[in-house]
Amino acid sequence: MVKITIAKSAGFCFGVKRAIDLAQDIASKNSDVYTFGPLIHNPQEVARLEKENIKVIEDYSKIEKGVLVLRTHGIPLDIYENLSKKENIKIVDAACPFVKKAQDIIKELSKDSEQIVIVGEKKHPEVVALVSYGKGKCLVVEDKNDVKNVKKTDIIYIVSQTTQSPKKFEEIVNEISKISQVKVFNTICRATFDRQSAAAKLAKEVDVMIVIGGKNSGNTTRLYQICSNITKTYHIEDVDEIKPAWFDKVESVGITAGASTPDWIIENIKRRIKEITNC
């Protein structure tokens, strides 16, 4: 009989749950409700929200009236300021509190510092927004190869994308500290750390890991990277991607999920694996 175990920390984090609840509450009281870009990085949950009349829009200039909910990853400062001037649009900021904290740190640092390093993915919406708070003083470092772009200054300030791997963050900080003195602001959220730790622990105990979450989700991708370094791992968004061959001669299966993955998807996938393995 195949043993199926869900990681101790998996699925919705506080910030995502807060944003979903906020959007649904607004939609229950208003007819014109939009999110600026996907509210979270989970296509299936975003599609479910659209059925509740919460529509995704990429071009806010096309909205004449209504409520615009800002995504959990935050938005660039200039866009936020432009939106605030719209008289017929009510703005609700659903940015994760941990993301807001990182934004506030960068905004404060930009007043006096020469250089602010953000450890993260250059094209990720959260990082794009973080850079906008730095008044042109931010440099994004994705990996050790990017450290060569860091300028030697009296003090190099370092901030992290909230969903960054703690191990990778530490490695990059160590490399930058060889250039000059650093001051580090570890803005990785606790939920990210807990999910990565729980996933790594479970991966060591099972034959196969299933990582559930949007292919566009940074924190889910990192869960996949962590688990795949330990055991056979598959990253899927929904139940239709599961292949029965994955479970041939397998005695134990572990399941983890990114911070934007709802419980209903996790349960659907667990149920499907049970059907395949007859357990």
Q: Is 208 helix (H, G, I), strand (E, B) or coil?
A: strand
Residue 127 near residue 106, CB atoms below 8 Å: no
Residue 126 annotated as catalytic: yes
Terminal C-alpha separation, the chain: 6
- Give the contacts of 72 (CB within 8 A, at least 6 positions apart): 15, 16, 19, 39, 40, 94, 95, 96, 99, 260
Pairwise CA distance, residues 251 & 246, whole Å: 11
| Given 45, 126, 142, 237, the catalytic residue | 126
Q: Which residue has the tokens 């598959």?
A: 234
Taking the C-alpha atoms of residue 1 and residue 131, their distance in angstroms, rounded to an integer, is: 50
Two tokens at 92? Answer: 């609700």
Enzyme catalytic residues = 126
